[in-house]
Amino acid sequence: MNYIKNMRKLIGQQTLFTIGCGIIIEEDEKILLQHRADEDNWCIPGGVMEIGEHFEETAKRETFEETGLDVGNLELFGIYSGEECFVKYPNGDQVFSVQIIFKTNQFTGKLKQAGDESREHKFFRKDELPKNLNPRQISFIHDWAEKKAQPVIS
């Protein structure tokens, strides 16, 4: 995250515009969610695009870093923007992040549980989603559960 650190030196805690990329990983009609260590909520794997990356590269890199899984055959699930993409972190940093979300059911590797960013990973059916979903991801997790037509543009 050198880009973000460098930008923070210039703009302080003012709103930084970023692009986030994540992947809805499916298995047996379940979605893989990670329990975040920093915010104590559940979300899909993903993260912020680095300068020069392609959307799919970002999504795959972040997913591997967070889960240990290599993913393939990504399909565009949706592009999300709007007020729900704004966040003010506990340290005061502000971010507005457009979200590019992919979907796949092709993955290999051993799913790691704990890491720097997550406490655990678990597959959930649509009728057993946890109550404490990440507020910035509720829309696309619910869109997945409702089997909305793809791609969703919001």
Per-residue model confidence as pLDDT tens digits over 84-94: 899 888 889 99
Q: Which amino acid is at 66?
A: E
Q: Please write the tens of the pLDDT for every residue from 82-121.
A: 988 998 888 899 999 999 999 999 999 999 887 777 788 9
Question: Which residue ranges form the domains of the chain, and what is each CATH number?
Answer: 2-153 (3.90.79.10)
Q: Which residues pair with 72 in a beta bridge?
A: 106
Closest CA to 134 of 112, 106, 101: 101
pLDDT-based confidence at residue 1 (cuts at 50, 70, 90):
low
Q: Which residues pair with 33 in a beta bridge?
A: 122
Q: Which amino acid is at 65?
A: E
Mean pLDDT, the chain, whole residue set: 92
CA dist 102 → 25, 80, 84, 114 (Å):
9, 11, 18, 23
pLDDT at 150 over 90: no
DSSP H or E segment with residue 66: helix 55-67
Residue 32's pLDDT is 97
For the whole model, what pTM was predicted? Answer: 0.91
Which of left, alpha, beta for 98 (phi over 0: left; psi -120 to 50: alpha)?
A: beta
Q: Report, as an integer, the average pLDDT of 68-82.
A: 95
Q: Report, as an integer, the average pLDDT of 132-151.
A: 92
Enumerate residues 6+ apart whose C-beta is below 8 A from 11. Answer: none
Q: Report, as an integer, the average pLDDT of 13-37.
A: 95
DSSP class of residue 129 equals -
Pick 19 or 150 by higher pLDDT: 19
CB atoms within 10 A of CB 114: 11
pLDDT-based confidence at residue 154 (cuts at 50, 70, 90):
confident
Pick 8 or 39 by higher pLDDT: 8
